[in-house]
Amino acid sequence: MTAALSVSIAVTFIWLGMVVAISFLEAPLKFRAPGVTVPLGLGIGPG
């Protein structure tokens, strides 16, 4: 395995990890915002 391939695989998994982490952090936070009801929170976006 070349160094370039190793780096591209590592960058891909780091990027995917950040996307997943942001998704799991964002979902509960939108329901904690003042004035956001459950129906409104569900309508804000996916997740």
Predicted confidence (pLDDT) per residue in 2-35, tens digit: 999 999 999 999 999 999 999 888 878 877 888 8
What separation, in Å, do the N-terminal and C-terminal C-alpha atoms of the chain show? 37
Dig out the tokens for 41 from the structure.
């929170």
Distance CA 41, CA 31 (A): 6
In this model, does residue 47 exceed pLDDT 60? no
Distance CA 28, CA 20 (A): 14
Distance CA 33, CA 41 (A): 9
In this model, does residue 46 exceed pLDDT 70? no
